Each structure stands twice: as C-alpha cells, then as structure tokens.
Amino acid sequence: MLELKKLTVKKDAKTILNKIDFSCNEGEKVLIYGPSGSGKSTFLHSLLFFEPIYSGSIQFNGKKIGEHNIKDYRKNFVFIGQKAPNFQGKAEDFICLPFTFKNNKFSKPEQVVVEKILHEFNFSDNVLENNYENLSGGEQQRLCIIQALLLNKKIFLLDEITSNLDAENTHIVIDKILQDPKRTVISVSHDAHWRNKDMKQYILAAGELKNE
C-alpha cells in the first residue's frame, strides 16, 4: 500500500534520512525505534510531505505522490505528536475540533460513540465539561488520541505518543490502537511497552532504517 523508494531528506545540508526503502501493507503494525535525534520524527513528517523530500519517492497504492495528489493522499492519515497542542475551550470542543473542518464535517461521531471511547480510556463523561487547559498533560494527550481514533483514518502515524503517560494508560492506548486489524499503524517510540507487542520492528540510526 505504502512504499518508499530511496527516500532522502536533508536539513540545512545535513542528511537526516539516507536513501530509505520501506514498505507497508494495509493493516500492518510497524514500530520504529532508535536513539533520540536519529530522525524518527522527520521520518513520520516526511511520509506526509511536511518535510521537503530531497530525492527518492513515495508511492501509495501504486501511485507516485506529488503536488497534484498530496491532498487526497493526506486524507488517509492521521498524525499524533508527542505533546498535545495548545487549545482554548472545553475538552468537548477539543474532541470535536476536527469535525469543524470541511473535510470531516460529515463524519461527526454520535454522542454514544464518544462516551464509549471515553470510558475505554478511563475517563468519566463529565471530563467533556472541563476546560482543556486545566487538564494534565497526560489527560490532554489521551484526548488527542481519542480525537484521532474518532476520525477513523486508515493509517496512524504516531510520534512517541505514550512518552508522557503512566504504565496503565500506556497499555490501554497501545491496545486500543493496535486492536483494529484493518488499521495500519506506524509508531515511533523507544518505550519498552511497544517493543513487547507483536509489531514489525525497525531500527532507525544514522539515517538508515534496518529491519529487526
């Protein structure tokens, strides 16, 4: 489904990713780990063309991705970062934020769906009434993950999403994300909790991606 061919990304003349070949099929669960500063975040950003590609190519379902089809391509993905973004408003507004965007307008989930997933993540219903800014970093991060899950995208790109969570919540989050057999997951993490899961594992070091 997703195929990278000799992908090279440079920043200020420094090679961050060096001729990376990588492919992944629908439903596959991929873990990428490696020393910090090895370009793991850059790798995820490059998949979405948020970093300028120096050379090489990315193909999706056999089609080369470029300026002409980038918008449709990005619609398949959701990206979650390490730290929840700033947001002013209630937790409920935050969860609903993506559904205020034109692209997602018609996929707004029903209230029961939202409540069910909140329970699965150990939240009580009244968390929705809280001010997002008053929640702890870990709670905000879990809301981000809920937000992404509700969007129901095919491919999840995860950048160290459990680094600010305690062990219990880390387990809940990982299990929930890996649960759906059709969902493709590419997770970057150096957390041992991910390493113990049944995932295809790669090491990213010195700009090169090696199969475990």
Partner 1 sequence: MNETFNIAIPNLIIFVTLLIIPILIFRWLKLPLVKKLLIAAGRMILQLSLVALYLEYIFKLDYLLVNFAWIIVMILAANITILSQSGLRFSKLFWVTFPSYIITTATVIAAFLIVFPANVISHSRYLIPLGGMLLGNLLRSNIVGMERFYSSLRERRSEYVQYLSLGATRTEAVMPFLRQAYKASIAPQIGGLATIGLVSLPGMMTGQILGGSSPAVAIKYQIMIMIAIFLTVNLSVLLSLLLSSAHAFDNFDRLKEDIYK
Contacts to partner 1 by CB under 8 A: 45, 48-52, 67, 70, 74-75, 77-81, 83, 85-86, 97-98, 100-104, 147-148, 151, 157
Which residue type, as a one-letter code, is found at position 181? P
For residue 187, give the nearest of 19, 28, 48, 74 by alpha carbon. 28
Which residue type, as a one-letter code, is found at position 202? Y
**CB closer to partner 1 out of 69 and 111:** 69
CB of 41 to partner 1, least distance (A): 9
Rounded Cα gap, residues 54 and 133, in angstroms? 39
**CB closer to partner 1 out of 15 and 49:** 49
**CB closer to partner 1 out of 83 and 176:** 83
CB of 79 to partner 1, least distance (A): 4
CB of 146 to partner 1, least distance (A): 12
43: helix, coil or strand? helix
**CB closer to partner 1 out of 86 and 136:** 86
C-alpha distances (whole Å) from 120 to each of 38, 153, 158, 190, 210 are 34, 19, 20, 25, 35
Rounded Cα gap, residues 77 and 60, in angstroms? 12
CB of 163 to partner 1, least distance (A): 14
